[in-house]
A and B are shown apart, each in its own frame.
Chain A
């Protein structure tokens, strides 16, 4: 039987509930929070700061360094062992690639901007939530940016094209599932992250991406509102 109705009652193009905040980690130079359904990400940005080892320093441009970390109790299954894994290293790398197009590296030559993301709980879509949170944190740190980066997964679950899969959809057993994490620069439509796992026809893949456009706009709106709110709060404090 094909997947006709989403198990939680959402429309195909509908994301789970989104909460976005800026300025959640006082020690950091910039920080962001992004929650989508039960997937929750905190991002802290430190820098621009001195890059060690010095041999990595580049007088032409700075470096963006990301680290994705699931808290050990944040997985749907067994405890996630602390420390880097193959998975977390790869996600950290694709996060960097997803965020690079909006960050002006030439503004901080020789230096590094570190982005650390922590996830206290996840229900699928964690790399996308991490990118969305990181983007808020980068803006909050006052870095020169072209835009925010909005990220969400799309997919095809047993024939139905959906946006923002949760764990139950990702692990759907009754039919094929394709999971496609995406990141987009909303103002230009440029795609900075594409991954796909699962079986899908090419035209379904294209349609699934097309269907996600309103979701990207909604995420970008939430991110921009979070950053504006941060400055509104700061201004209110001064008065």
Chain B
């Protein structure tokens, strides 16, 4: 990234402010809308500052893995489409998009929010496969948190397609939705110099020395974590970052309704 911009972000933080005037623990204005794709089984669009993401859930039928014949599957896929940022290129998924996919995925998976056994149609033969696709239209930072939050909104809104002779009829949906036993919410805290902040913009992400994503549940229980960036963290910093993530998750949870 532009070294001058990085220094600028750092200098501003030393004086106690962010380039867009926010406090360190302040999220940008956030809006979630569901039912934005008529072809998806569930969908949501999240806008937060200039970041704009569409998340769709497609529920199809497939064969279970041979080692788990009575379990359906959940998969999250996030793509850094070149549409959304001039830095992204066409080609195979970059390591950044793979990491985002996996961190969002693990937040949902490890919380056991979706009981994969309940997705079984016929053991060993047919199971429901839940695909969550995170598609940024305009990427101005914080894809993991926003993709994860919109992912939960999309999953909550999803309805199963009707089964006709064992095959899904995508033109008819049942009233039945996914049973979610809890709602994991990922929050990423980035460290720039000695400052810890939430909801980084794209420039702040690039200026960050380290980051920590913490997915947590209603009662404050943690369900997945990922450290990123090159800098190390002290255990004191780790502690502070988790606290900040938990505090932020509480506010975000209200936005899901």
Question: B123-154 interface mask toward A, CB cutoff 8 Å, 1 = contact, 0 = none?
Answer: 00000000101010111100000000000000
Q: Is A216 an interface residue (CB 8 A)?
A: no
Which of A119-127, A181-189, A198-206 participates in binding chain B?
Answer: A119-127
Question: A91-120 interface mask toward B, CB cutoff 8 Å, 1 = contact, 0 = none?
Answer: 000000000000000000000001011101
Nearest-CB distance from B49 to chain A (Å)?
10
Q: Is B213 an interface residue (CB 8 A)?
A: no
Q: Is the CB of A121 within 8 A of B77?
A: no
Q: Is the CB of A27 within 8 A of B138?
A: yes
Nearest-CB distance from B167 to chain A (Å)?
10
| Residues of B contacting A121 in the complex (Cβ-Cβ under 8 angstroms) | 37-40
| Residues of A contacting B10 in the complex (Cβ-Cβ under 8 angstroms) | none
- Interface range on chain B: under 10, 10 to 19, 20 to 34, or 35 or more? 20 to 34
A78 to B41, CA, bound (A): 11
Q: Do A120 and B37 form a contact, CB below 8 Å, given A26-B50, A71-B54?
A: yes
Closest residue of chain B to A115 (Cβ to Cβ) is B83
Closest residue of chain A to B75 (Cβ to Cβ) is A79
Q: Is the CB of A76 within 8 A of B58?
A: no
Question: Contact check: which of A46, A78, A82, A84 meets B82 at CB < 8 Å?
Answer: A46
A77 to B58, CA, bound (A): 10
Q: For chain B, residues 73 to 131, give those with C-beta under 8 angstroms from any C-beta of chain A.
A: 77, 79, 81-86, 90, 92-93, 131
Q: Do A73 and B37 form a contact, CB below 8 Å, given A27-B139, A82-B77?
A: yes
Q: Is the CB of A46 within 8 A of B84?
A: no
Nearest-CB distance from B171 to chain A (Å)?
8
Q: Is A129 an interface residue (CB 8 A)?
A: no
Q: Is the CB of A79 within 8 A of B54?
A: no
Q: Is the CB of A67 within 8 A of B82?
A: yes
Q: For chain B, residues 160 to 182, give those with C-beta under 8 angstroms from any C-beta of chain A.
A: 170-171
| Residues of B contacting A78 in the complex (Cβ-Cβ under 8 angstroms) | 58, 60, 170
Question: Contact check: which of B85, B131, B138, B171 meets A73 at CB < 8 Å?
Answer: B131
Q: Is the CB of B82 within 8 A of A120?
A: no
Question: Contact check: which of B135, B138, B170 meets A26 at CB < 8 Å?
Answer: B138
Q: Is the CB of A28 within 8 A of B39?
A: no
Q: Is the CB of A118 within 8 A of B60?
A: no
Nearest-CB distance from A140 to chain B (Å)?
14
Q: Do A122 and B138 form a contact, CB below 8 Å, given A72-B56, A73-B131, A82-B79?
A: no
A74 to B243, CA, bound (A): 38
Q: Is the CB of A27 within 8 A of B50?
A: yes
Closest residue of chain B to A44 (Cβ to Cβ) is B83
Nearest-CB distance from A67 to chain B (Å)?
6
Nearest-CB distance from A220 to chain B (Å)?
24
A77 to B61, CA, bound (A): 12
A114 to B93, CA, bound (A): 19
Q: Is B9 an interface residue (CB 8 A)?
A: no
Nearest-CB distance from B45 to chain A (Å)?
8
Closest residue of chain A to B82 (Cβ to Cβ) is A116
Closest residue of chain B to A69 (Cβ to Cβ) is B81
Q: Is A159 an interface residue (CB 8 A)?
A: no
Question: Contact check: which of B52, B84, B135 meets A71 at CB < 8 Å?
Answer: B135
A77 to B41, CA, bound (A): 11
| Residues of B contacting A49 in the complex (Cβ-Cβ under 8 angstroms) | 86
Q: Is the CB of A120 within 8 A of B54?
A: yes
Q: Is A83 an interface residue (CB 8 A)?
A: yes
Q: Is B248 an interface residue (CB 8 A)?
A: no
Q: Is the CB of B60 within 8 A of A73?
A: no
Q: Is the CB of A72 within 8 A of B133?
A: yes
Question: Contact check: which of A46, A116, A120, A122 meets B36 at CB < 8 Å?
Answer: A120
Nearest-CB distance from B204 to chain A (Å)?
15
Q: Is the CB of B77 within 8 A of A42?
A: no
Nearest-CB distance from A6 to chain B (Å)?
18
Sample of 15 further A-B pairs with CB below 8 A, known A27-B84, A42-B137, A73-B40: A27-B50, A27-B85, A27-B140, A44-B82, A46-B82, A67-B82, A71-B135, A72-B77, A73-B43, A120-B37, A120-B54, A120-B56, A120-B135, A121-B37, A123-B39
